[in-house]
A and B are shown apart, each in its own frame.
Chain A
Amino acid sequence: MINFEEELKKFHPSLEVEDAEEAIYNQDLTDMADLMVKIVKEAKKSEIQAGIEIE
């Protein structure tokens, strides 16, 4: 049984054309590739730090 009030909450106002620019700027464009690169960089950094500590 559909609850009108609950269903209504699922509807959100649409972005107007004037707000499109702001929406584009605020969009989070981070992807898995970015995360992987970040992880790889951090891993390399950790390895370097570990090597320094051993020495």
Chain B
Amino acid sequence: MICYQCGCSLSEHDFCTNCGADVALYKKIIYISNRFYNEGLERANVRDLTGAITSLRQSLKFNKNNVEARNLLGLVYFETGEVVAALSEWVISKNLRPKKNIADDYIDMIQTNQNRLDTINQTIKKYNQALTYCNQDSLDLAVIQLKKVLSLNPRFIRAHQLLALLYINNEEWEKAKRELTKCREIDTNNTATQRYLKEVDEMLLPEEGVKQTPRRKQKSDDVVKYQSGNETIIQPVNIRDGKGVTSLLNLGIGVIIGIAIAIFLILPARIQASRADIDEDLRKVGEQLDTKTATIDELQQQINELTKNNGDLQQDLEAYLGTDGKLRSVESLLKAADAYLTNPEEVTVVADYLEEIVQDENEDTGDNSESFESLYNTLLALVGPSVAQAYYDDGYEAYRQENYADAIPNLEKAFRYDATNGDALYNLANSYYRTGDEEKARTTYRQVIELFPGTEKASKSEGFLEEMGTED
């Protein structure tokens, strides 16, 4: 506490120790101010905001410099939705104590958020507009406007009260009570709220209140009241049945609307969704089909390759059979060698085995081993002349007897085993000629002329060739 005259701090004495001014009364004023502040704080703590406002105003009337009281008053105003009044108190407080003042935070809280400030301003303007509507007797518009105000600022007590007043005027007691209850939750001891609430309670519970006007009494006779928890429900009697019918009618209409929505909105959507699912399934099946077709093609290719491989293997098998033929040749050669070693005189037996080798060699592609060729040639050299002679003898005998069918193979073998035997070749050519095989006869005569030139056989062969004439 400072002296009002010199600004020095005051002591416990009733005078200023600096300037000597009498501060007894001044101290009492400050004490009273502080007492009102304490009272206001207590009331604010129990949400008696109206009482708090009264006490804090009193406090400020005694001491305008009581910054705590002013800040609290601003806070209480803000709580009741009176934002501009709150701002005014905080601004004054800030001017009185520029530093270490919580009012700074409060002001910043509102001013830094532009949207919040705009909302506050809109709320106030709408409230004023609603009040204008009330004065112009446009009460419905006022109700709408006040509902908007309360949606923006649900703690605006004056708006709640005005809306409750409008409901009371329209005899909408329940709605009025609801608004007043909200008011009471914010400010428990607001005089106007209490007065309106008392009126509303009297209307809702007429038997507990004072006398009713005839109009309202008549109205109350037509209603049925019953208690539901803390709420008293008032239901008109005369429209009770009609309400039931209306409910049923509304229910029916609701069902019809629901079915219509299901048919026109939900069903097409479901159908569309089902079609989409089917399309998706078809697409998947198509993909699977493509995959399987590709697999089938691949398998077909594998079959073709396998068939080709099978053909190759078959060829290999045939080649193998050919190899088997070679083996047979080897076996025949071994038999021929064995027969020759057992009995060298039996040249025909050896010749028969060698003949088998010749047949196999004709069927086979050739390529016998070196040892095979060597043994074969050795055997042929050993038995060849004897065999050739034997075949020639048989062939010539058959030729003389004009048995050309036997003569031809024997003479062929005779010449094969002894290439120097020109008689065998000449007689073979004659045999061909006489059997009518001029082609072979011509070839064989030419061989005679070529291999044995200057001989009688060659000149005779020329003669036969001339006799046969030129080739076709």
Q: Which residues of A contact B (CB under 8 A)?
A: 1-2, 4, 7-8, 10-20, 23-24, 27, 29-34, 36-37, 40
Contact = CB atoms under 8 A, between A and B. Distances in A.
| B contact residues, range | 35 or more
Contacts of A23: 84, 88
Interface stretch (B127-135, B241-249, B300-308): B127-135
A22 B32 CA distance: 30
Interface string B1-38: 00011000000000000000010011001101100000
Given A4-B169, A33-B30, A14 B64 contact: no
B195 interface: yes
B87 A32 contact: no
Secondary structure class of chain B's binding surface, majority of residues: helix
Nearest to A21: B91
B60 A31 contact: yes
A24 B169 contact: no
B124 A32 contact: no
A16 to B, nearest CB: 5
Nearest to A35: B29
Given A8-B165, A37-B4, A16 B124 contact: yes
Contact of B88 (A24, A37, A40): A24
B184 interface: no
Nearest to A34: B64
Contact of B62 (A2, A8, A12, A32): A32
A20 B84 contact: yes
Contact of B128 (A4, A14, A30, A33): A14
B374 interface: no
A24 B135 CA distance: 28
29 contacts: A1-B213, A2-B165, A2-B196, A8-B134, A8-B135, A8-B165, A11-B131, A11-B158, A12-B131, A13-B127, A14-B82, A14-B84, A14-B124, A14-B127, A15-B124, A16-B121, A19-B84, A20-B87, A20-B91, A27-B88, A31-B33, A31-B65, A32-B61, A32-B62, A33-B29, A33-B30, A33-B62, A36-B29, A37-B5
